[in-house]
């Protein structure tokens, strides 16, 4: 398909082309434009839960990971108002969980931490909640710390064992809503599957047991490059 058959749109003053059916997030990525995201993960219907990917189209804020791109759209993405909004969301996520980066095995590979660096978060403007939601260490290879969970649902959509979901929301709603691990299914995960589950989690809520400092601090993914810079280099 050449560009004349594609959807033409503009994002941050850059003229771009998209395949029909692509969301704004996907289309931006394939044109080398990074839209910050957290709950989105390739291969799963986006839950649209984190709101980090907010963009502005015709003066309306829209969620880039769920909104299909359309012909003639003029999209603002990397503008101070949106980056300030994203920074506030990151701060809220930090205070609502126990994100003690220096002691977390996910440090340097954590997308929440990387976004905080990207938006130059110093001290969150909101009070810390220090939740006590409990941990689950019953699985052979998985350590599940609910106090670090940001409720992005990536694990719910993507961590499977024999086509069954290993993680799910508990049945209680409201402020008691949290992600629970099916202990029986989690205990059947292989070491590789447990490592994949750890990688699917954008923070340190799902950790692979016996994986401590496998890569020195300072040599991890976001220690070297800011999150999104791989897309911007395309």
Residues engaged in binding ligand FES (CB under 6 A): 37-40, 46, 48-53, 63, 65
Task: Copy the structure tokens of residue 51.
Answer: 């709101």
Q: Where are the beta strands (DSSP E) in the chain?
A: 7-11, 14-18, 54-57, 60-63, 74-76, 135-136, 142-145, 160-161, 164-165, 167-169, 179-181, 206-208
Q: How far is the CB of 54 from ligand FES (least distance, A)?
A: 8
Shortest gap between Cβ of 155 and ligand FES (angstroms)? 14
Nearer to ligand FES, 38 or 57 (CB): 38
Buried b (16+ CB within 10 A) or exposed e, 160-185: ebeeeebbeeeeeeeeeeebbbbeeb
Nearest distance from residue 58's CB to ligand FES, in Å? 19
Closest approach of ligand FES to the CB of residue 77, in Å:
12
CA-based max dimension of the chain: 56
Query: Of 2 and 42, which has the nearer Cβ to ligand FES?
Result: 42
75 or 194: CB nearest ligand FES: 75
Q: Which is nearer to ligand FES, 87 or 208 (CB)?
A: 87
């Amino acid at each position: 398909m050449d560009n004349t058959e594609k959807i033409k749109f503009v994002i941050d003053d850059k003229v771009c082309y998209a395949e029909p059916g692509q969301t704004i997030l996907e289309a931006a990525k394939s044109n080398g434009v990074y839209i910050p995201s957290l709950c989105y993960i390739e291969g799963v219907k986006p839950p649209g839960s984190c709101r980090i990917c907010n963009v502005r189209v015709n003066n309306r804020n829209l969620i880039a990971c769920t909104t299909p791109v359309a012909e003639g759209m003029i999209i603002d993405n990397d503008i101070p108002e949106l980056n300030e909004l994203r920074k506030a969301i990151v701060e809220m996520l930090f205070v609502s969980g126990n994100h003690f980066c220096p002691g977390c095995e996910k440090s340097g590979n954590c997308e929440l931490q990387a976004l905080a660096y990207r938006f130059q978060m110093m001290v969150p403007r909101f009070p810390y909640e220090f939740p006590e939601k409990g941990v689950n260490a019953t699985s052979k290879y998985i350590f599940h710390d609910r106090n670090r969970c940001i409720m992005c649902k990536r694990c719910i959509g993507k961590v499977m064992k024999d086509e069954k979901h290993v993680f799910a929301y508990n049945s209680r709603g409201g402020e008691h809503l949290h992600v629970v691990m099916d202990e029986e299914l989690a205990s059947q995960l292989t070491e590789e599957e447990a490592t994949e589950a750890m990688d699917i989690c954008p923070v340190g809520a799902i950790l692979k047991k016996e994986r401590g400092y496998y890569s020195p601090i300072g040599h991890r993914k976001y220690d070297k490059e800011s999150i999104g810079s791989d897309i911007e280099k395309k």
